[in-house]
């Protein structure tokens, strides 16, 4: 029996989706997402056009509030895209590697049908690693 598994590797500005058709098969990157605003400095975000108006607030928006808003926006958009990808691919399992606090934000935005297939989460940011290095670390640490 083959199992179609997805592995998501993400942080607050980039996400990479890999699929694996069988445990012995290599991870194949099928999608990626970039959220440029997640990499901007808080002062740049304060000056950037916003989807939400900050008019009427005294002073500038707190930097942490801006960072949280951008992280939440990316998590929301990513969760919607994951649902669409799952609807097409019908993975049996989803494993998520994501930086903190983005992992919590993403989990909060996932739909119930996606949450049902999440079989493991790891508070690790592996976005800068190659697919081969990720697989090597995964096999050593989690499938040892």
pLDDT digits (tens, 9 = 90+) for 80-104: 999 999 998 889 999 999 999 999 9
Q: How far apart, in Å, are the Cα atoms of 20 and each of 4, 10, 26, 34, 47?
A: 6, 17, 6, 22, 42
Which is nearest to 9 in space by CA: 36, 26, 35, 31?
Answer: 31
Query: Regarding the domain delimited by 5-21+28-142, which CATH topology (the fold level of the hierarchy) does it fall under?
Result: Nucleotidyltransferase; domain 5 (3.30.420)
Residue 129, pLDDT above cutoff 80: yes
pTM of the model: 0.78
Which pair of structure tokens corresponds to residue 78?
């990513």
Which pair of structure tokens corresponds to residue 121?
């989460």
Residue 19, pLDDT above cutoff 70: yes
Q: How far is CA 30 from the centre of its chain?
A: 14
Q: Which residues does 96 contact at the CB level (< 8 Å), separation at least 6?
A: 7, 8, 10, 103, 106, 107, 118, 120, 121, 122
pLDDT in the model for residue 69: 87
Which is nearest to 102 in space by CA: 141, 130, 79, 71?
Answer: 71
């Amino acid at each position: 029996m083959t199992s179609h598994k997805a592995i998501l590797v993400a942080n607050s500005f980039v996400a990479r989706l890999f699929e694996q058709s069988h445990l012995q098969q290599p991870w194949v990157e099928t999608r990626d997402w970039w959220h440029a605003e997640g990499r901007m400095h808080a002062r740049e975000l304060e000056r950037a056009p916003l989807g939400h108006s900050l008019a009427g607030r005294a002073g500038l928006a707190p930097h942490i509030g801006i960072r949280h808003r951008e992280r939440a926006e990316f998590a929301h958009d990513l969760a919607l895209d994951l649902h669409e990808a799952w609807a097409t691919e019908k993975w049996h399992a989803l494993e998520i590697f994501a930086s903190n606090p983005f992992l919590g934000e993403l989990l909060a935005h996932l739909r119930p049908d996606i949450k049902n297939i999440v079989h493991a989460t790891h508070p690790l940011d592996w976005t800068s690693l190659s697919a081969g290095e990720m697989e090597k670390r995964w096999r050593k640490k989690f499938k040892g």
